[in-house]
Amino acid sequence: MSNELNPAKKYSKVLTEGPSRAAARSYLRSVGFTKEDLHKPIIGIANTWTEVGPCNFHLRQVAEAVKQGVRDAGGTPMEFNTITVHDGITMGTQGMKASLVSREVIADSIELVTRANSFDGLVCIAGCDKNMPAAIMALARLDIPGLMLYGGSIAPGKLPQPDGTIKEITILQVFEGMGSHAAGKITDDELEALEAAACPGPGACGGQFTANTMAMAGEFLGISPIQITGVPAMSPDKAAASREAGRIVMDLAKNDLRPSKIVTRKAIENAYVSACASGGSTNAVLHLLAIAREFNIPFTIDDFNAISDRTPHICDLSPGGKYAAKDYQDAGGSRLLAKRLLDAGLIDGSQITVTGKTLAEEASAAVETPNQAVIYPTEHPLKATGGLVILKGNLAPEGCVVKVAGHERLFHEGVARVFESEDECHAAVEAGKINPNDVCVIRYEGPRGGPGMREMLAVTAAIKGIPELSETVALLTDGRFSGATRGLMVGHVAPEAQLGGPIAAVHEGDTITFDIPNRKLTLNVPEAEITKRLAAWKAPEPRYKRGVFAKYVNTVSSASEGAVTT
């Protein structure tokens, strides 16, 4: 076959064509590729498979289906692996510090392997929180035809009830059960029942936690095929959907439709609208800032509130609501949500997607399941404005993020209880040392201070598991929260304590005011006193002085800029 006649083989010719590439072809033929394979467009398949946890466990099967789709469309797939960290397993341990760092390592590794091998296209298969933004960041840097494919959500767990009925649960109920158990509210056997039932098989956490938030964001960015992305991990339709993704990437390569033509400023806005409308994770702010930076799109933390203020919260999804990701897909999925938002003038439907169709064209194919109760009409929202808000004030001059979906407290003032790490706060909660209306301040858990900006689900779930604290305590940190977090929890406080941000000046017994309607976070201490405290402050020694964490600390930006490495 003449290579010049195949427009999709644009980049890999330098690797596989001509007499000077005989040695390279010899290596590739030794592992099973034929002469004919090497003259076809070569598509990299970046796989985040691991057997450490359910999110990515099934991705070998997903990859095989994607590869078949590539072959069916006339290409040659070449699979490679990268690392992943399972947030839920590492939660509450020092290992959780590796999670956000892994986003940078995944993006770097996909970029390196792809540049080394001059692929003509790329499918990044991702299954957990940091995989997906990392994949999109790598696609931005490489700017070759490609897409991000989500491995899919886990099925809801089924917990038998004393009356003989079955209750659907997610991992959130296990984390909250741990708090209830520590407070003596449930027994060992009841906690065991939750543990055994919550995760019935492979797939990412089933609520609108960070994984599903970023999968949805990928669809609204246009970089993930809409509706295909939402097929659950163990669905009978998963293999066919994955094969279709392989076919789509071949079309992208033939038409030279690259990520830079898809992800625009308007596409970033569309993605954030989806996060607000669905009650998504606070991590969407962090990751969309990072993605915008990789695409060289001007987009700052100050842009988020205007979008949230005009976006109604219309998806009744866990953790703030009733339903899981499978229920969302069954109701009509992202095509239906896109139609709702498009009809209300809340998103830009002219944006192109990896399918070659505009978002409006995709939305026009929406099929709503009769009597579905997951995706509300915009005229009858769960809440009039979006689920995520940016606060600023003397305690967070660069901003911080709060999720307002799933709780009703829009104003809170309480006494600061100050902890120098997540572990200290968690121990205090379990020991019964936190009082109603307290504000738990957890600092030195930011991008540099942690390092790695740990998520605080162990703490927030423990608080939610104690009835007298559940609706009264607030939490404030320069670290992050899991998408499974619910309640008045404010994260990403910037500047962080390690850099001498005002959160470093909070003393035990100070009062802190959360004024969400006015977007203000205030430490009720005179400015002169804050200045005096910070003048006497000394930065703690770095917790890690060598290895990957030390490299990260030396290069990472503020959370208000996406915590990206430069």
Annotated catalytic residues are 482
One-letter amino acid of 139: L
* Alpha carbon distance 487, 172 (integer Å): 13
Bridge pairing between strands 474-477 and 439-442 = parallel
How far, in Å, are 6, 238, 327 from residue 369 at the CA level?
42, 20, 11
Q: Distance between CA atoms of 224 and 210, rounded to whole angstroms?
A: 16
Q: How far from the centroid of its chain's Cα atoms is residue 551's Cα? A: 23
Q: Taking the C-alpha atoms of 125, 126, 130 and 134 in order, what is their torsion angle to the nearest 10 degrees?
A: 10
Task: Give CA angle at 325 (487, 257), nearest 5°.
Answer: 115
H-helix or E-strand containing 13? helix 13-16
| CB-based contact 340:377 (threshold 8 Å) | yes
> Cβ distance 133 to 139 under 8 Å?
no
Q: Is the dihedral angle over the CA atoms 113, 57, 219, 362 positive or is it negative?
A: positive
Place of tokens 């590794």: 109
**Per residue in 225-235, is it b (16+ CB within 10 Å) or e — as a string?**
bbbbbbbbbbb
Measured in Å, how far apart are the chain's first and last C-alpha atoms? 43
Burial degree of 520 (CB within 10 A; 0-12, 13-18, 19+): middle
